[in-house]
Amino acid sequence: MRRLRYGITTLAPVVLSAGSGDANMVGTFQHIPGGTALGATAARFLLQNGIDSRSACHDERFYNFFLKGSIRFGAAFIKLTDEDGETFVHFPTPWSIRREKRGDSIFDLLRTDDEDEEPEEQTKSAGGYCRLDESGISFAAVETGFSFHHARDPETGTSKKEQIFNYESIAPGQTFQGEIRGDSEMLKALADSCGNAWTGHIGRSKNSQYGKIRFQFIDKTPQPLPAPEISKGETPLTLVSDTIIYNDNGFSTTDRDSMERCLGLTIKKCFVRRGDVETFVSVRRMKTPSEACFKAGSCFLIETPDEEAISRLAGFQETGIGERTHEGYGQCVPGVQTETEPTEPKLKPPRIPRPDGPVPETAKSIIKTLIRDAVRKEVELEAMREMQEFDRCKSLSTSLIGRLGAMVRGADQAEFIKRVGDLRRIASDNLKKCRNRSQDLREFLLNKRVTAAAVLKNPQLSGLQGLCEEIGYEPENDADFETELYQTYFTAFFSAMRKTVKRSRGGDG
């Protein structure tokens, strides 16, 4: 099997719909899914070869390239240039990699000994995207933006009163890299049929202001796949895309035993996130059935006692794991998580000359507003991430979740904690049944602290801390803002939880 690397550069904001937990917000993936790359290439093939989409399935080349499954379209991830001018692709950060909440140390819990499962320090998921190699770990963030829209009446063509929504989008000017795998001759025929580079559209609302991209094949000819890093004894396996596997009854599952059966290898330890995948096929104008999946970043420590196990694990890097691998699901890389405590290089930011004179008051007011907006957004994202860590939240009633949401509105931290503590026994027992890795939901609600100071310690927001110092703003001493952040966190938390519960029961969310 060979590969052709491709690059996608965003020329306009791109919306690749993902769940956001807010009915008025359309979120976006921060990478290019394999199915999106497949669709963009298929559209180019049809245009370049003058084939009508309604009869495309009868074209032998189209069938072999896009329907048969012998060519695998991998997802594309953010590609950045470091300070030495070298470019690197950054993949989803493994869920086992944790960062100190109040420090700079980074731990990979997949590589710790069983008796030393957790570090003494409190940690949180590193999240985002990263590059892991012998030099350590480097994190990367995808630049996104938000657009405000009015809902429109299709009959009159005018805006509907009081009906608004927001689009989160990948910002233009960013490049993502992925690869297409398959037989050498078929890959070459695909590239010849589509051309080396073209301009196209992907994602949502591509008929308006969104979705314009530049697609280019990076390799002129198909290249060999890189050799996997697999050690005898045990080897880490990291999923770099969502992975769908079926159990013995033919249903998608995120059960560890089913993953072991799929691999045919023993899993010694794992750190996984569970989710659902559901895609929209524009040519059919309908969604695919929802499937349970292991989320990208899930990782496993695999026993590789002999050459047969090593060979089998190497095969999964080549072919992928589970179902719909030709759409980019099931991508995995063995052997990248090698350090118990990966080191993060300290980069020196470029020095920008400081203008003379004090910061104008108008500028201070604008900067303060921007800082508060960025902190609010980060708090909302943290709430939705932490909500997803709770198992069995689907057993909670929507009325109880709605009541909790009402309790936090207009309340400060002390008042909300008192209200949770005063809940009747039945409600408290239901909260205790819902757990994350370390505590139940009731304990979480009583102990969760939301502060601007904690948010500003996020390395990706380091620039905001400097801005606060520049304008003399101390958000941690702004009592009203701290209360607002607390309410913002739990409003987003309960909204996302309520939507998840309704969706699981067949509601419209």
Given a contact cutoff of 8 angstroms between Cβ atoms, the answer to whether 37 and 178 are in contact is yes
| Separation between Cα atoms, residue 142 and residue 175, nearest integer Å | 10
Please state the rounded mean pLDDT for residues 367-388. Answer: 87
pTM: predicted TM-score of the whole model, two decimal places: 0.66
**Structure confidence at residue 508 as a pLDDT band (50, 70, 90):** very low
How does strand 77-81 pair with strand 286-287? unpaired
Task: State residue 509's pLDDT score.
Answer: 42
Please state the rounded mean pLDDT for residues 377-391. Answer: 86
Name the average pLDDT for the chain.
85
Higher pLDDT, 372 or 117: 372
Instruction: Among 193-207, 256-270, 272-286, 346-360, name the one with the lowest average pLDDT.
Output: 346-360
Domain limits, the chain: 2-91+128-224, 94-127+226-342, 361-504
Nearest to 260, CA basis, from 218, 317, 321, 207: 321
CATH 3.30.70 for domain 2-91+128-224? yes
Task: State residue 132's pLDDT score.
Answer: 87
Given a contact cutoff of 8 angstroms between Cβ atoms, the answer to whether 13 and 24 are in contact is no
**Structure confidence at residue 38 as a pLDDT band (50, 70, 90):** very high
**Structure confidence at residue 209 as a pLDDT band (50, 70, 90):** confident
| Distance set, CA 385 to CA 20, 102, 128, 275 (Å) | 10, 19, 11, 12
| Separation between Cα atoms, residue 299 and residue 294, nearest integer Å | 9
Predicted confidence (pLDDT) at residue 347 exceeds the cutoff of 70: no
**Structure confidence at residue 259 as a pLDDT band (50, 70, 90):** very high
Please state the rounded mean pLDDT for residues 329-334. Answer: 94
* SS3 label, residue 226: coil
Please state the rounded mean pLDDT for residues 117-134. Answer: 76
Task: State residue 116's pLDDT score.
Answer: 47
Given a contact cutoff of 8 angstroms between Cβ atoms, the answer to whether 443 and 420 are in contact is no
DSSP state of 461: G
**Structure confidence at residue 123 as a pLDDT band (50, 70, 90):** confident
* pLDDT (tens digit per residue) in 271-299: 999 988 887 766 556 677 889 999 999 99
Q: What's the half-sphere exposure (Cβ side, CA atoms, 13 Å) at 398?
A: 14
Predicted confidence (pLDDT) at residue 149 exceeds the cutoff of 70: no
Predicted confidence (pLDDT) at residue 162 exceeds the cutoff of 90: no
- Residues forming a β-bridge with 148: 166
Please state the rounded mean pLDDT for residues 224-253. Answer: 91
Given a contact cutoff of 8 angstroms between Cβ atoms, the answer to whether 177 and 10 are in contact is no
Task: State residue 118's pLDDT score.
Answer: 55
| Separation between Cα atoms, residue 122 and residue 120, nearest integer Å | 7
* pLDDT (tens digit per residue) in 175-206: 999 999 999 999 999 999 999 999 999 988 87
Please state the rounded mean pLDDT for residues 134-154. Answer: 78
Please state the rounded mean pLDDT for residues 206-226. Answer: 89
Percent of the chain whose predicted confidence (pLDDT) is above 70: 87
Task: State residue 358's pLDDT score.
Answer: 79
Six-digit token string for 73: 């379209």
Please state the rounded mean pLDDT for residues 414-428. Answer: 91
Which class is 94-127+226-342 in CATH? mainly beta
Given a contact cutoff of 8 angstroms between Cβ atoms, the answer to whether 313 and 228 are in contact is yes
Given a contact cutoff of 8 angstroms between Cβ atoms, the answer to whether 445 and 413 are in contact is no
Six-digit token string for 131: 């590059």
Beta strands in 252-366 (DSSP E): 252-253, 267-271, 274-277, 280-281, 286-287, 291-294, 299-304, 332-334
Task: State residue 152's pLDDT score.
Answer: 63
Nearest to 313, CA basis, from 223, 224, 225, 229: 229
**Structure confidence at residue 497 as a pLDDT band (50, 70, 90):** confident
